[in-house]
């Protein structure tokens, strides 16, 4: 897997060729807009969560896909990961400042969509 890093202010200001396949910003966008990346960012918008809490909050995601998605988002600098040295280890995830900044429009989009949908019959 290629090593990724959070985009720095200097890199952002100099611009990126986002339509070029080697653009690092393109990788971040791919991870954020992946099937599960969006839901991880939305789930972490208001609380730091442990791995099992994230898995419970995102119905339909497997442990493998959650682990892969979290790994990519951590490497991109959108999510932080803290491991408590207990047995078994307790791993907590939360949004970095970059992750909150990127996740805010996703949350707004989700909120707009849910406000416009017809009420569900339960």
Question: From residue 115, how far is each of 57, 107, 108 by CA, in Å?
Answer: 20, 12, 11
Q: Is the pLDDT of residue 107 over 60?
A: yes
Contact 36, 66 (CB under 8 A): yes
pLDDT digits (tens, 9 = 90+) for 74-102: 999 999 999 999 998 999 999 999 999 99
Mean pLDDT of 20-30: 81
Torsion of CA 105, 97, 57, 40, to 10 degrees: 70
pTM summary value: 0.76
111 or 13, which is more confident: 111
In the structure, what pLDDT confidence band is assigned to residue 122 with cuts at 50, 70 and 90? low
Q: Which of 24-28, 44-48, 102-106 has the lowest mean pLDDT?
A: 24-28
Structural tokens at position 93: 């995830």
Instruction: Give the pLDDT confidence score for residue 36 in this predicted structure.
Output: 95
The helix/strand/coil state of 90 is strand
In the numeric block, the tokens 């959650």 are attached to 66
Q: Rg of the chain's alpha carbons, rounded to an integer?
A: 16
pLDDT digits (tens, 9 = 90+) for 48-61: 999 999 999 999 99
Contact 6, 73 (CB under 8 A): no
């Amino acid at each position: 897997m290629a090593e990724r890093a959070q985009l720095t202010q200097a890199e952002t200001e100099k611009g990126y060729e986002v339509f070029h396949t080697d653009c690092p910003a393109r990788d971040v966008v791919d991870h954020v807009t992946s099937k599960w990346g969006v839901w991880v960012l939305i789930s972490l918008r208001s609380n730091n969560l442990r791995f099992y809490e994230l898995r419970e909050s995102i119905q339909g995601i497997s442990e493998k896909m959650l682990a892969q998605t979290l790994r990519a988002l951590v490497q991109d600098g959108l999510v932080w990961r803290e491991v408590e040295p207990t047995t078994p280890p307790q791993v907590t995830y939360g949004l970095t400042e970059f992750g909150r900044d990127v996740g805010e429009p996703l949350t707004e989009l989700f909120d707009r969509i849910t406000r416009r949908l017809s009420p569900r019959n339960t």
